[in-house]
Amino acid sequence: MRDFRTRFAPEIARVERRGLLRGALSLGAVSMLAGCDLSGDGPIDRALWAMLRFSDRVQAALFDPRRLAATFPASAITRPPRFNAYYPLRELRPIPDDWSLEVGGLVEDKRDFSLAELAAMPQASQITRHICVEGWSQIGQWRGVPFAWFLKRVGADLRAKYVAFDCYDDYSTSIDMASALHPQTILALEFDFAALSRPFGAPVRLRIPTKLGFKNPKYIAAITVTNQYPGGYWEDQGYNWFSGS
Ligand SMILES: Nc1nc2c(c(=O)[nH]1)N[C@H]1C(S)=C(S)[C@@H](COP(=O)(O)O)O[C@H]1N2
Ligand SMILES: [Mo]
């Protein structure tokens, strides 16, 4: 943290110009505002968004890409697993028969991938804890393609800032490239030692145990590598974007 001020000099200057750090509003106070409606476009909203982006940069700088999330024995798996989405399970719609995973943005191999192609790639299994911001957690098993391997395979620009996910239920989220490349981040095809079922993310979901549950998109339709801040369904409503767990 010694070079903190140097490293974040432009951001700190920007935030200080707005008088926020000199005032009563600390980063903690701003994070408590997560959950408030920040959809307005006034000067206060813009200043708050600047603070939130600043907080994301700090969290990204503190993220250790080699530190592994805790793993558990199969006996620790929570059963039955808990479904969660921004709507109730009965409103889950079917996935189109012609599903394929669209990969675009800053990648060389911009095209669609079938489930068979994904299944033929290297797979890794993990038993990790999934933590939902709503105040519950569960331990589960997921298996799938190491996302770092996948990003290299499609020739993604690994210096790009973000990877964005768009889902079939109009959900979306996005993550930083360092977290995307973390060894435990996988494109999961399997959950609880069986093919992913529809509620838990079929055909494919992201499993990223270093982040909170809402950063683990299910029913992925498209993956985009980009330098433009993509936000996401909850992120656009003020949830902390980085959301490490
Ligand atoms: N497509 C999609 N993915 C999603 C969500 C969603 O509503 N739609 N909810 C998120 C949230 S808040 C959580 S906690 C987890 C829940 O995953 P689970 O149903 O496998 O427990 O999915 C995340 N991914
Ligand atoms: Mo969640």
List, for residues 115-161, the tens digit of each pLDDT value. Answer: 999 999 999 999 999 999 999 999 999 999 999 999 999 999 999 99
Q: How many angstroms does the Cα of residue 212 sit away from the middle of ligand 1?
A: 10
Ligand with smallest separation from the Cα of 203: 1
Contact 20, 51 (CB under 8 A): yes
List, for residues 18-33, the tens digit of each pLDDT value. Answer: 554 444 445 555 545 5
Strands 136-146, 124-132: pairing is antiparallel
- Given the CA of residue 167, which atom of ligand 1 is nearest to it? 1
**pTM of this prediction?**
0.86
pLDDT for the residue 21:
45
Residue nearest atom 5 of ligand 1, based on CA coordinates:
85
CA distance 31 to 33: 5
Q: Kindly report which listed range (49-53, 152-156, 209-213) carries the lowest average pLDDT score.
A: 49-53
Q: How many angstroms does the Cα of residue 200 sit away from the middle of ligand 1?
A: 8
List, for residues 59-94, the tens digit of each pLDDT value. Answer: 999 999 999 999 999 999 999 999 999 999 999 999
Strands 220-226, 101-105: pairing is parallel
Q: How many angstroms does the Cα of residue 37 sit away from the middle of ligand 2?
A: 18
CA-closest candidate to residue 242, choices 231, 181, 183: 231
pLDDT for the residue 49:
86
Of 83, 216, 223, 235, best ligand 1 pocket probe by most atoms within 8 Å of the beta carbon: 216
